[in-house]
Structure 1
Amino acid sequence: MTSKTPSRNILQWSKLLMITGGTQAVVQGFGLLLGIFIIRSLTKEEYAFYTIANTMLGTMTVLADGGINNGAMAAGGKVWKDRFELGKVLSTSINLRKRFAVYSLIVTIPILIYLLNRQSASISVIVLIILALIPSFWAALSDSLLQTVPKLHQAIPKLQRNQLFVAIVRVIMGGVMVFIFPFTYIAILANGIPRLIGNYRLRKIAGEFVEKDAPVDKEIEKGILKIVVRTLPGSIYYCISGQILVWLLSFFGNSESVASVGALGRLAMFLSLFSTVFATLIIPRFSRLPSNSSQLLKKYIIIFLGLVVLLSGFLICIYFGSDIILEILGNKYLGLNVELLLAMIGSCFSLLSGAAFGLYSNRGWVINPILMISINLISMLLLASVLDVTSLIGALYFNIWVNVISFVMNFIYGFIKILKLKSN
């Protein structure tokens, strides 16, 4: 009986990886195809606006979450078999995120206006871009929380079908709309409308595992807010550090540098395949593991060894295929071979850092925000003093070292938390 168990586990994981990895490869392929089309269709000035707007959308989403998603995953992991209790977790977390969204908009909209204005965007263009962001932001308020439910139940095929549907609609709508109207706000709008449709479908999927009318629970809210209080400072920091390249070049560089880093960063969508599979399969299962130090430590090390091997292979492909990749982006970006490799190295360390953060935070562990921010701010100041962050190359090196330090810190924290379980 026991001899068959490893074989069954291997078969199960192979099936899940084929379903998740195969679908994600198609989804990311569609996204990359549309991204390249947008890069080639928009002028460098318009693509600079597009890069800034998308960066700010990510900031809006992170601030509106503030750690709520991690709290929901941690709370849901304890009651995932109970429809009513899981429904209360979902209702409570969505209610919290809507309240956080108001404060997020108050902070981010003025910054977005300022950055676009620095890149010489007209008032009418700024207004149109802000309006175009509404569908994407509205969908972002609940889609990651809704995904928590099928992830905990490992209802992967349904989740993947919805993502594939959204990707197809996005490619068709985005391709047609941007071809006819090659403007930033049109490209953003074409991305947001499919997300709204996908969000509606996600609600139906989540509804199969939870009570839709489950009330908001104050005790669950307190538990989530405890995680939010410790996570929010880190979330604010990650809003800055996660897109440090765009922030630096938006403030100190020109639209050409912003467009270049945005175009090169688009190729990081290759890495989205790894991160999405990781978030869908690995993190929920890791959060459900019993608090056994030796078992968790073994899984933790295996996970990162696997990621290092995969990312090393990815960087080797980038190094030897840089000429072909840049030709695909178009004549406006030829000759950026070194910049491409540096951008991808930074993205790889960012993925590793995010993976470490995701593993421990979804178990309800939160690093001391003062310690985390202090380490990173000190390292940023030291790096800024020795690197020319106003140039594209200098900003790329800065980005690499910031992400290296972030990864080392997050990895060590998760490692220590697992070791402490033994003494407890």
Structure 2
Amino acid sequence: MFNLIRNQLQVYSKKANLKPVGQVLSSQLILQALSFGIGIILVRELPKTEYAIYSILTSILAILSILSTSGIMIGFTKIGGEIWNDIPKLSSLIKTASSIRVYLTAGAFLISGIYGYILLSEQNISLPQIIFFLICVLLVVIPEIFKAFISEALLLRKEIFTVQVVQLLIQASRLLSLGLIFLFYKELLSISLVLIITVVSTWIGYFYIKNKSAHLFDTKAQIDVEYKKTLLHYIKLIWHNELFFAFQGQISIFLIGIFSTSNSLADLGALSRFSIIFNVLASLIGNIYGPKFAINQNIKHLKKQFYQLVILLLVSSVFILSIANIFPNLFLWVLGPKYSELNIELSLVLILGSLNLMVTGISSLNQTKGWIKYRTYFEIPMNIVVLACGIYVLDISNLKNILYLSILVSCANIILCITNSVYGFKTYLKT
């Protein structure tokens, strides 16, 4: 296994500069350590009832982020991959995309707010608290309207360092604030305070990246009609898929929130802390593989990048799952005594994380080239069939069964992603 990873790195190093990879890996190791520190403080110190609320809010934030993107990033990356070295055009693209995403975010907040209200009401949260929680979530997403496009533009230009620093800045400020409260004012630690800290940290990150990306903005840049047309084309093409995907990705939280208990919701949220294990690889894909794939126009090189990514993800997932199965008690010890009996659930969560990483990785490459044909037509019906069959067969009030259901859905999505890739390579050969 280690020889395979080493050989892959040796092959890649002959064809590419490994400095960006090293930058991403080192910064991501720090970033994930910071994230893990934040997560462990919350998992260990918050009561299960409050951590259940935190899990719901994380779910709302994920849905809001997906819906407010809703295909626009596909168009942005596709156009950006062609004009990345032309500052005036890139500046115009950023301005055009940001203007559209303002409206997407408003609609997304309405939908995710209804979803959040339903789940939070099931936890007997009062209406004023629900409103406060939802406003905080919105304030976290608002800076993303602009920060996401700035980050993608920087990545296309291979200015990776700034993107990594802003992520570290956000998480470091969160961990520092929570750590100080934990050490000196432990009795004040609550969901509300965690949200306020997150909002402030997110805005700090936004102002930092805005300052560091000033060279990308041309004062004469205007909204471009052709760019807008392309962006709207991709939004219209897959908005319904994004809407479905946003909720399908949170199906575990939703089903547990409706049909199970706060304890199960907290258990799932706690185990999900280990998803940061896969975030380093996901960041490599988003920061290195995706932009490189986007600007590459050679079909032979594209295929090689694709195969290397799949092999890397497979080997990494097998390694992670093996370690977790050998030392499950060590993983659960980190979460604390409240979660010490979740051995089977731990394995299922990590399997699900591995499968989702594969979906994320292949989808990211497909999207940079606009290879989404089968996703447009088959993603929703395929997922509905899998979900319906799973709900019919399994007892969805049980956490393990909900994880089994999510694994089935992820397997189906991997098949769809690969089908899109095969079709994309075939059509690329004809152009």
TM-score (norm. length: structure 1) = 0.94
Moved more, 97-106 or 412-421: 412-421
Per-residue deviation at 1:185? Answer: 2.1
Deviation at 1:132, TM superposition (A): 2.4
Counterpart position of 1:333: 339
Distance 1:94 1:202, change over 3 A: same
Where do 5+ consecutive residues of structure 2 fail to align? Answer: 1-9
CA distance in 2, matches of 1:386, 1:212: 59
AA partner of residue 165 (structure 2) = R
Over 3 Å counting, the alpha-carbon distance change for 1:118 and 1:16 in structure 2 is same
Q: Please give the alpha-carbon distance, in whole angstroms, between the structure 2 residues aligned to 1:370 and 1:83.
A: 36
Residue of structure 2 in register with 1:397 after alignment: 404
Aligned twin of 1:3: none
Give matches, 1:75-154, under 5 Å.
75-154=79-158
Structure 1 counterpart SS, 2:222: coil
One-letter code of the match for 1:101?
Answer: T
Closer, same or farther: CA 212–285 of 1 in aligned 2, 3 Å: farther
The root-mean-square deviation of aligned C-alpha atoms, in Å, is 1.8
Give distance in 2, aligned partners of 1:9 and 1:327: 38
Distance 1:364-1:206 versus aligned 2 partners, 3 A rule: farther
* Selected match of 2:171 from 167, 171, 178: 167
Letter matched to residue 216 of structure 1 = I
Q: Does 1:220 align with 2:227?
A: yes
Is it true that 1:200 corresponds to 2:204 in the alignment?
no
Shift of 1:174: 2.7
Distance 1:265 1:212, change over 3 A: farther
Residue 421 in 1 paired to residue 428 in 2?
yes
Check conservation: 1:353, 1:406, Cα contact below 8 A. Answer: yes
Equivalent residue for 2:390?
Answer: 383
How far is 1:11 from its partner? 8.5
Contact 2:68 2:104 in 1 (8 A): yes
Distance 1:171 1:19, change over 3 A: same
Find the partner of 2:280 among 270, 273, 289: 273
The residue type paired with residue 21 of structure 2 is L
- Note the C-alpha offset of 1:188: 2.1
Q: Distance in 2 between matches of 1:207 and 1:69?
A: 21
Measure, in 1, the Cα distance between the counterparts of 2:346 and 2:195.
Answer: 24
1:118–1:251 contact (8 Å) kept in structure 2: yes
Task: String of CA shifts for 1:176-215, please: whole Å, max 9, x gaps.
Answer: 3463422222212222211111111112233223425511
Return the letter of the residue paired with 1:299: Q
**C-alpha distance in 2 between matches for 1:42 and 1:213:** 50
Residue number in structure 1 paired with 2:39: 35
1:189 to 183, 189, 196: 196
Q: Secondary structure at the match of 1:267?
A: helix
More moved, 209-218 vs 257-266: 209-218
State the AA in 2 paired with 1:302.
Answer: Q
Alpha carbons 1:135, 1:193 under 8 Å: kept: no
Which deviates further from its counterpart, 278-287 or 11-20? Answer: 11-20
Displacement, 1:7? 9.2
- CA–CA distance in structure 1, aligned partners of residues 250 and 17 of structure 2: 33
Aligned to 1:352, the other structure's residue is in SS state helix
Q: Assess, with a 3 A threshold, how the Cα gap between structure 1 residues 156 and 212 changes in structure 2: closer, same or farther.
A: farther
The partner residue of 1:407 within 397, 401, 414 is 414
- For residues 383-406 of structure 1, what are the alpha-carbon distances to aligned partners after superposition, in whole Å with 9 as ceiling and x for unaligned? 222222220010011111111111
Out of 23, 26, 31, the residue aligned to residue 27 of structure 2 is 23
Indicate whether 1:361 and 2:387 are aligned: no
Q: Distance in 2 between matches of 1:299 and 1:173?
A: 40
* Change over 3 Å in CA distance of 1:29–1:423 after alignment to 2: same
Deviation at 1:351, TM superposition (A): 1.1
The Cα shift of 1:233 comes to: 1.5
Contact 2:371 2:423 in 1 (8 A): no
CA displacement, residues 99-157 of structure 1 (integer Å, 9 cap, x when unaligned)? 11111112221221121010122233323322322331212222221101110011112
The aligned runs of 1:291-330 (5 Å cut-off) are 292-330=298-336
Counterpart contact for 2:109–2:138, Cα < 8 Å = no
Write the distance in 1 (CA, Å) between the matches of 2:16 and 2:216. 22
